[in-house]
Amino acid sequence: MIITRSYLNRRRGIAAIVIAALVLLLSGCRTDGTPEPGAGTATPSRTAASTATVAPSASPTADVNATATAIQLEENEQALFENAEAEIREVLMWLPPQFDPSLTDASGTALAGLFAEIIENHPKIKIAHRIKDTSGNASLINMLTVAASAAPSALPALMILDRNNMMTAVQKGLIFPIETKLFAEADSWFRYARESAVVDNVRYGIPVAGDPLVLVYRPALTGPDMNNWEEILTRGLPIGFEPNNVTDLFGMFIYLSLGGKTKDEQGKPWIDQEILTQTLNFFLNGGQKGAFPPAIAKDTNVGQSWQQFTDGTMQITVAKLSQYRHNQRADFTAIPIPLTDENGPYPLVNTWNVVVTTKDPELMAIAVEIAEAMASPEFNDQWTHASGYLPVRSGDLTDWKSDMAYDDIYRMSASASLLPGSNILSKLVPILNSAISKVILTAASPEAAAREAIEALK
């Protein structure tokens, strides 16, 4: 029988009533035959006294034993409840803020509902969650690193990490390989998602979402036809991005879409000088048409391009899909960033994977079950549509099919190429963005800026 709080509360209530009755009974029993204080003072007649039948009084010893028995029963049931509670295991999950199941929007409600279903199927567990930042000293990866060495008992059973932080966690030995049959039907997954779960040919994660870069604009002010770069650049409207931000990936996107590579044969960071020159010519031509004015290369405020777009200063900007979907307004529209080769891969897609951070077999099994449920086709369709991310499964996209952006979402998902590793991006992006800034400011020609970039890489 499962011992519940309501059951024990009812039993305790009964025990309390029994104890109270026995106390009253004992308080009303006098062994010397003296009337209770406040009893009537009239003296009964001897005849009445001699003929009255006196009922035998309850034994005080028996009453005390009954009371003790009731108290012991309550203590036994309390101990039983505490043991039952001890058998309920907490499955702790760390999450980034955007995936908080406590959110009252559709994505939070969907995830909370999924957790409730899992708990219903496993009454001896409870799923708890903690929200951790995605960057800074208190980020998911930093807190995991600290807890693993300083407070192992505070470690979660599972967490959601982006692709590069997952790779860092693998290098530090903070997460463990996952065994699952979920990938047996490979065709049911988008390729980018399958690949994102693997590090050094070992599966460490179960992918649940993707996040590409997109071009966001106001059709009412830009005009509706934004199908290729020629149509976009000839408008002469500034396009928001941040070349002074060492993490801004728009320049890298253009470089990769032109066929650029980021690693040499030894796997070290590398730049193709010829394709870099083509990339810089793209920004030079765009700058001459007004798309990339010098002010863009002078602005050092991180996040300024999105702010300028939302306040109406700029009508076109580059943003993450999730940023656009979370802040979508009626006058906003987003499209995939145009590619030079329409059939080529769509670069720089970030992913989020559920990873396991415990060696406990029981907790690991539950953690994998949670991850598998989040990646199931029906739930993943519903949840990614609500949360504003690319789906990881290619079938059962019922919710996404009802969205006007479905064709673009499917196209990006089907052709997505993963973000390079942090060791590559941290080396190449600052060099590439510096070269772009020089060209936009006309401080160097594309050829000269490309040569300087190659020298900086050595």
pLDDT of residue 145: 97
Q: Mark whether 307 and 162 lie in a shared domain.
A: no
Answer yes or no: is 172 within a domain. yes
Q: Mark whether 293 and 153 lie in a shared domain.
A: no
pLDDT at 41 exceeding the cut of 70: no
Q: Mark whether 234 and 134 lie in a shared domain.
A: no
pLDDT of residue 79: 47
Q: Mark whether 174 and 225 lie in a shared domain.
A: no
pLDDT of residue 86: 55
β-pairing, 89-95 with 158-162?
A: parallel
Answer yes or no: is 383 within a domain. yes
pLDDT in tens, 83-108: 445 589 999 999 999 999 999 999 99
Answer yes or no: is 125 within a domain. yes
pLDDT of residue 1: 40
Q: Mark whether 219 and 199 lie in a shared domain.
A: no
Residue 42 binned pLDDT confidence (cut-offs 50, 70, 90):
very low
pLDDT of residue 147: 96
Answer yes or no: is 149 within a domain. yes
- Residue 68 to residue 145: CA distance in whole angstroms: 53
Answer yes or no: is 42 within a domain. no
Average pLDDT over residues 280-286: 98
Q: Mark whether 241 and 343 lie in a shared domain.
A: yes
The two tokens of residue 160 are 């959601």
pLDDT at 77 exceeding the cut of 80: no
Which residues form the domain of 395? 87-212+350-401
When computed from its CA atoms, the radius of gyration of the chain, rounded to whole angstroms, is 34
Q: Mark whether 188 and 143 lie in a shared domain.
A: yes
pLDDT of residue 3: 40
pLDDT of residue 396: 83
pLDDT at 362 exceeding the cut of 50: yes
Average pLDDT over residues 273-293: 97
pLDDT of residue 149: 95
Residue ranges of E strands in 7-61? none
Q: Mark whether 354 and 289 lie in a shared domain.
A: no
Comparison of pLDDT for 63 and 234, the residue scoring more: 234
Lowest mean pLDDT among 43-47, 75-79, 203-207, 289-293: 43-47
Answer yes or no: is 35 within a domain. no
Buried b / exposed e along 125-159 (16+ C-beta atoms within 10 A): bebebeebeeeeeebbbbbbeebbeeeeeebbbbb
Contact present, 207 and 193 (Cβ < 8 Å): yes
Contact present, 205 and 355 (Cβ < 8 Å): yes
Q: 3-class DSSP state for residue 69? A: helix
- Residue 451 to residue 273: CA distance in whole angstroms: 7
pLDDT of residue 224: 82
pLDDT at 190 exceeding the cut of 70: yes
Q: Mark whether 200 and 127 lie in a shared domain.
A: yes
pLDDT of residue 21: 45
Answer yes or no: is 164 within a domain. yes
pLDDT in tens, 127-136: 999 999 999 9
Which CATH number does the domain housing residue 380 bear? 3.40.190.10
Q: Mark whether 130 and 201 lie in a shared domain.
A: yes
Contact present, 179 and 366 (Cβ < 8 Å): no
pLDDT in tens, 160-178: 999 999 999 999 999 999 9
pLDDT in tens, 195-212: 999 999 999 999 999 999
Q: Mark whether 117 and 183 lie in a shared domain.
A: yes
Q: Mark whether 177 and 257 lie in a shared domain.
A: no
Number of structural domains in the chain = 2
pLDDT of residue 369: 98
Share of the chain above pLDDT 90, in %: 77
pLDDT of residue 74: 54
pLDDT of residue 69: 57
Quickly tell me which residue has 């460490």 as its tokens. 204
Answer yes or no: is 408 within a domain. no
pLDDT at 438 exceeding the cut of 80: yes
Q: 3-class DSSP state for residue 329? A: coil
